[in-house]
Amino acid sequence: MLKSGGKWLPVAYDFDFAAFVNAPYVHTKVKDNKTLRRTYLGFRENESYLPEVIELFESKKDEIETFIKITDLISSGERKDCLKYVRDFYREISTKPVQLHYKD
């Protein structure tokens, strides 16, 4: 429950669609959902925000990796897979210029 005057904290919840958890029901025709190309599902006019968003993600890289490394909510194998997925994401956003793949 949010206390009076508190801040809202948005929490993403659709990690299965993002392939982060490799849910088998998302793309039933492929063995490993994590091998699919990431596709930008936003609006083209929002592309101008990309540098700012990338900067925010880059500022959180160590926190995200540390959380994955220390969590005991997943097995060590799943932890390894999640780290690889996150590192691949960071490698992709560090490419200049970032290539967006639109879902048309």
- What DSSP string describes 17-52? TTTTT--TTTSTTSS-GGGSPP-B-S-GGGGGGHHH
- Angle at which helices 61-70 and 50-59 cross, to 10°: 40
Give one word for 62, left, alpha or beta, with left for phi > 0 and alpha for psi -120 to 50: alpha
Handedness of CA 26, 29, 32, 33 (dihedral sign): negative
Amino acid 12: pLDDT: 64
Q: What is the pTM of this model?
A: 0.66
Q: pLDDT-derived band of residue 65, with 50, 70 and 90 as boundaries? A: very high
Amino acid 9: pLDDT: 66
